[in-house]
Amino acid sequence: MITDKETPMIQAQEIHKSFGDLKVLNGISFNVTRGEVIAIIGPSGSGKSTLLRCLNFLEEHDNGEILIDGDPLGYSLNENKTRVRQSENEIANLRSNIGMVFQSFNLFPHRSVRDNITMAPISVKKINKNEANKSAEILLEKVGLLDKIDEFPSHLSGGQQQRVAIARALAMEPKVMLFDEVTSALDPELVGEVLYSIKQLAEEGMTMVIVTHEMQFAKDVSNRLLFMDSGKIIEEGSPQVLLQNPNSKRLKDFLHRFRSSFV
């Protein structure tokens, strides 16, 4: 769908999700405008990862609607206003416009860095090999890993693998990037290089949703902060305000626990 600049890049309306008896998302609604960077924080079990994974339909929302750049994701409404599940091809198509970076990198170990980055553009977007290779080189240059282009993932450090994962997601020229606790699995000294790459992306105007534990980073890079607990958005607002002057008790407790672990 060709939308104007006014249409939010992401619209989530009344999202509910359960795993069996466990209710994980309890009526989540929020919008993300073009170029905005949202950080989602919250205790484990709050549903923040599940919410992120619903945004590219890796988890299927039970109720509610998700629209990416105006297009419904996962389910469409037919004339009778009933939910109809989209076809696999429709979903794959939508996903190719949404980039995701995972906590465990999920690089393909059996292919080189170059192939990891070019595989999807070639097989999904049908871009020709030479163009794909050129783009791969540009992207790797951007994350500072051009010299590793013909290496295999197992030869790279965690931080390097994650940056390749970012380049791989960017190779599909997504409209929005999702980051799922991308530094949680990294050794502390490798976290900085990854956060730097993400910050660069933000400065270039990419729309991003970042689930993270790095409070300082959330403050630095995001325009808006969402605090989640027990499947609901408890507080929402500018990161400076929320982190300095939390309103709700739950956010106060969460931040307190966080800060005390740094004492």
Partner 1 sequence: MEIFIEFFGISFIQSQLPRFWNGFQLTIAIAAASMIGAVIWGLLLVGPRMSGVKTIVLPLMIYVEFVRNTPLILQIYLSYFGLPLIGLPLSAFLCGVIAIASQHGAFLCEIFRAGIEAVSKQQWEGALALGMTKRKAKYNVILPQAFLKVVPPIGNQLVILIKDTSLVSAIGIMELTLSGKMVIERSGASFEVFLFIAALYLLLTTAFGLIIRFFEIHLRKRE
169, 191, 195, 221: residue in contact with partner 1 (rule CB under 8 A): 169
- Asked if 185 touches partner 1 (CB under 8 A), the answer is no
Backbone angles phi, psi at 185, to 5 degrees: -95, 10
Contact 238, 224 (CB under 8 A): yes
104, 200, 223, 230: residue in contact with partner 1 (rule CB under 8 A): 104
3, 18, 29, 123: residue in contact with partner 1 (rule CB under 8 A): 123
98, 156, 176, 208: residue in contact with partner 1 (rule CB under 8 A): 98
Amino acid residing at 137: E
- Asked if 152 touches partner 1 (CB under 8 A), the answer is yes
- Asked if 173 touches partner 1 (CB under 8 A), the answer is no
User: Which residues, numbered 51-80, are part of the site for partner 1 (CB under 8 A)?
Assistant: 56, 58
Stretch touching partner 1 by CB under 8 A, among 11-19, 68-76, 102-110, 129-137: 102-110
Between CA 33 and CA 176 the distance in angstroms is 10
Provide, rounded to whole angstroms, the least separation between the CB of residue 47 and partner 1: 18
Between CA 111 and CA 156 the distance in angstroms is 13
3-state secondary structure 148-169: HCCCCHHHCCHHHHHHHHHHHH
Sign of the alpha-carbon torsion through 37, 43, 49, 54? negative
Between CA 214 and CA 107 the distance in angstroms is 23
Provide, rounded to whole angstroms, the least separation between the CB of residue 79 and partner 1: 27
Provide, rounded to whole angstroms, the least separation between the CB of residue 33 and partner 1: 23
Contact 26, 51 (CB under 8 A): no
Q: Which residues bind partner 1 (CB under 8 A)?
A: 56, 58, 88-89, 92-93, 95-100, 102, 104, 106-110, 119-120, 123-125, 152, 154, 168-169, 172
